[in-house]
Chains A and B, each alone.
Chain A
Amino acid sequence: MRPLTPRRIILICAGLTGVLLIVVLIALRMGAYSISIQDIAMTLFRGALGRRDEILPDFWNVVFEIRLPRILLGILVGASLAVAGAGFQALLRNPLADPYVLGVSSGAALGAIVSLVIAPRTPGAIQVAAFVGAALTVAAVYFLGRRGGQLDSATLLLAGIVMASFLSAAIMFLITTLSGHDLLRGMAFWLMGDLASPPPTRDVLEWFGFLFFVFVIAAGAIYTTSSDLNLILSGEQEARHLGVNVNRVKLVVYISASILTGLAVSVSGAIGYVGLLVPHVMRMIFGTDYRLLIPTSVIGGAIAIVLADTLARTVMGPTELPVGAMTALAGAPVFIYLMRRRVR
């Protein structure tokens, strides 16, 4: 294995970013409304210069109102879930950990359902309520998952799993008692994960700006712990002896990964598999060093979701599938292929 140099990290990330750009272009091109790549380029160019008058209203709507916000949301959600997954896998020292293993998605779903009952048909209510639900779950799991005042991987995992099943039961109870509710039809979509929801604010710019800001802070915080995570993964005692503040690292990863998951779940529902599979795929391709794993997971997660959503929008056209169905359907075979190839 070649040594990990900053140069190598930057080269790999640049390569992956190139792949992401190609995927974004494909996603912009594909869809029920057919629009040529030249028209997309011209629309983007004129849009960036603020010359909207020169753009056909149809092109404007398709590119700037429908496809681009969806792609940006996909990038953000995919990157958040993949980093959170990588973080939880290290924190819990469990390869099966994903962003939802500690019940964050169940808490968010419960919040979303409660919002449908209290404030039905209010744009943005679901997102806010889901985030509140996720935050409360994270706090509850944190207090349940400590032993001797410190985060303990095994206790945390158990607390999270118990919390997740308790909340899932509460969700099932609510769904059954509310089975008449017309609004629950949309809920099924939300539970599977869906990127079609428009931003809750009138100002799209402000919304994505806010989301990217939170993402950069939380993902950056996890990144600062990456060399410590490498040591912790080889053994907590050894890491302590080497001067790593294990408790601080765990707390930082727990909070940041929870924020990322809560954010992703609130805006798009529980999109499965990306948070579990992407870090593993990146490990298989680029190795287990967290200094490389975290940035590659960011870009890999974005690629995975944008691709999956493009498929979800087009395979059944004009009917759109929830992106969550596509990530599982397309993700599992890719993962099995990589796993078998490595075993051989």
Chain B
Amino acid sequence: MRLFAYKMIFAAAAASTLLCIAGLTALRAQQAPPSASQEKAQAAAPESTARTLTDEAGLRVTIPAQVNRVISLAPNLTETIYALGLEDKLVGDTTYCDTPAAARAKPHVGDTINPSLETIVGLHPDLVFATMINRIDTVEGLSRMGIPVYTTDPRTVRGMFDSTAHVAELMGAPEQGKALVAQMQARLDALHAPLTDRPLVHVLFVVWKEPLITIGQNTFIADALRWAGAESVVVSKQDWPQLTFEEVVRLQPEYIVTASTHTGEEGKRSLEEFRALSQWKDLEAIKAGHLAVISDEVDKPSPGLIGAIEDLAHQLHPEAFAEKSTATGLIAAPREERTAKCAR
């Protein structure tokens, strides 16, 4: 019995060792190549101007001189690239990238959490754009193969401006970036003037109804609310805190703000939805019809966010824009009527 056992151990050990050796020899080559590829990169460096910089997540990235093919790993980045008019250089995006509609036709590399690295390799990108919702594993896996990944991390509306400018600059179109940022800034300034002497509206931003999820003060949505003359009633260091309904009743927000889905005419339907829920229907804000439904662009730190801010500001402060709206015709009439009717 013993002898048998020892024979078997030997056999098992020998087999495992063989397996190890086989696996390791196949990988042995891997050790040398990185240096080989580095040499190549260095050899190529003098003629072009590849540069190394730190991205918004604090990682070092080497950007090639010519960036003609990029992949976006998040919907807000895809939208930014389209807003910059640089979509011809976008060779791939994720299955979640649906704004603008043309983005759906781009080759998809998978979803944001788990994209297929080999699909990305096959698309030969010069640069991949990521955000903090992408996993570090994805970024690390791509960097290992010499595919540079630039991670953006916009935490405020101004941060979104910076990210937009960075994306434009990295794609070799800094002027487009400056122009777009200036245009967005102008729209915010136009919004700012009428709102300066108006009190902030205390709102509850509903990310998700069941369970009730709202926003923390460090999110770009909280910042967007401030630009629209509003302030979240919930103060939390967590980005997406979960609330009990008791807390909502205690805080008594003046307005409930939520993002629509893509279907049209959701404004009225949504108020009915809230009124159909036993908890919500007795809330003062809902009783008074103080519900502001804005475009789901508010969920993404991309240039579309400005439109959502404008929409929200007009819904929350109809009086401030009353004279102006006749002059510029900025406000959609039905919403104005609806919000104006609500006694404040």
Binding site for B on A (CB under 8 A): 6, 9-10, 13, 17, 31-33, 44, 47-53, 58, 60-62, 64-69, 72, 121-123, 176-182, 185-186, 189, 194, 196-198, 203-205, 208-209, 212-213, 215-216, 219-220, 223-224, 226-227, 291, 295, 313, 317-322
Contact = CB atoms under 8 A, between A and B. Distances in A.
Contact of B30 (A10, A121, A205, A226): A205
A31 B121 CA distance: 12
A24 B134 CA distance: 29
Contact of B113 (A31, A64, A189): A189
A32 B119 contact: yes
B140 A198 contact: yes
Interface in B59-81: none
B332 interface: no
A212 B115 contact: no
24 contacts: A9-B11, A31-B116, A33-B122, A47-B29, A48-B29, A52-B32, A52-B36, A62-B121, A65-B145, A177-B238, A179-B238, A180-B216, A180-B239, A186-B137, A198-B144, A205-B30, A220-B13, A220-B16, A226-B5, A227-B4, A291-B4, A317-B116, A318-B110, A318-B115
A319 B111 contact: yes
Interface string B177-216: 0000000000000000000000000000000000001001
A196 B28 CA distance: 21
Contact of A58 (B13, B114, B122): B122
Given A44-B26, A181-B238, 13 more contacts: A6-B4, A48-B29, A50-B32, A51-B29, A64-B29, A123-B140, A182-B132, A196-B137, A198-B144, A205-B27, A295-B12, A318-B110, A318-B115
B57 interface: yes
Contact of B118 (A67, A180, A216, A219): A67
Nearest to B36: A52
The 4 lowest CB-CB distance pairs between A and B, nearest first, are: A180-B238, A180-B239, A318-B116, A33-B118
Given A180-B241, A182-B133, A198-B140, A212 B23 contact: yes
Given A180-B216, A212-B16, A185 B133 contact: yes
